[in-house]
Amino acid sequence: MSAANVRIVERAVGAVNERDIETYLGFCTDDVELRTPVTPIEGSYRGAVGIRRFFSDVAAVGPDFRIEIERTQTTGSDRVLAFTQITASGRESGIDVGSETAHLYDLVDGKIHRVEVFLDRQEALRQAGLTG
C-alpha cells in the first residue's frame, strides 16, 4: 500500500499546483485536516470547507504558489513524508519567497486523512518517528 500512497500524495500535490479543488478533495477523507505553520494562530483547515478556504487563502496571498516534491519516504503502511520546496510571489508585494518544508501525510483506506506541514524538516522526521 505504501507505493500507492506515495502516488496519491504526488497526485494530490499536483492538484494543489493546478488549483483543482475537486480533484484534491477526491484524494481526501471527508474529515481531512490540513495543519500548516500558522495553524496555532489561524486554526487548521478541516473538511471540504476548510480545504476550500486553504485554496482561497493561497490564491489571495500568492497566486503562483507551488509545491515541488523533492523526495518522499513512507513511514509505515499509511504514512508518507514528503520533503518539499514551496515557492510563491506575494500578490501585493511581488516578492518571491521560497521555503524548504516537509509534509507528513496520514492516509486511511487510500485517502489523505491528515496533512501536517513543517518548516523544520528535523521536526517532521521526529513526528514521523524516524529520529529520536
* pLDDT, tens digit (0-9, with 9 covering 90-100), for 48-94: 999 999 999 888 878 889 999 999 999 988 999 999 999 988 666 66
Question: Could you give the 3-state DSSP secondary structure of residue 110?
Answer: coil
In a domain, 132, yes or no: no
Q: Is residue 7 predicted with pLDDT exceeding 90?
A: yes
Q: In the chain, how many domains are there?
A: 1
The pTM score is 0.92
d(CA 68, CA 88): 11
The CATH number of the domain holding residue 98 is: 3.10.450.50
**What's the pLDDT band for 98 if we cut at 50, 70, 90?**
confident
Q: What is the mean pLDDT of residues 12-37?
A: 97
Dihedral sign for Cα 46, 120, 79, 128, please: negative
**What's the pLDDT band for 20 if we cut at 50, 70, 90?**
very high
**Helix H or strand E encompassing 97:** strand 96-108
In a domain, 40, yes or no: yes
Q: Which domain holds residue 18?
A: 2-127
In a domain, 58, yes or no: yes
Cell of 82: 514528503
